[in-house]
Amino acid sequence: MDKSILRQAQQLQTKLAKAQEELGDMTVEASSGGGVVKVVIDGHQKIHSVEISPEVVNAEDVELLQDLVMAAVNEAVTKSQELASKHLSSLTGGLKIPGLL
């Protein structure tokens, strides 16, 4: 195998590892119900916070709150995946590399 190709592959691997690490420091926020439920999630799809406005907490309508939380979490996960895809594709030139996302 050509040593320059191996060296390029190792450099790409190093850059991808750094990019994966950077994703842990990047966050996105999503909300539902006009902002009454907010979720902050990082590029590794780990939730950092869930904020629920007191006016939406109603013991007689728990299902509404559950739906709002679920909607905010799902939107946050989607945004986080898009962030990760965009961040990593800048290094891979748009190639879909198995195991990255």
**Residue 12: band (very low, low, confident or very high) from pLDDT cuts 50, 70, 90:** confident
Residue range 60-99, pLDDT digits in tens: 999 999 999 999 999 999 999 999 888 888 776 655 655 5
Question: SS3 of 53, please?
Answer: coil
Q: Which residues of 53-70 are buried (b: 16+ CB within 10 A; e: fewer)?
A: eeebeeeeeeeebeebbe
Residue range 15-56, pLDDT digits in tens: 888 888 899 899 999 999 999 999 999 999 999 999 999 999
Side chain identity at residue 100, one-letter code:
L
Residues whose CB falls within 8 Å of the CB of residue 30, separated by 6 or more in sequence, listed in order: 38, 39, 41, 72, 73, 75, 76, 78, 79
Class of domain 3-92: alpha beta
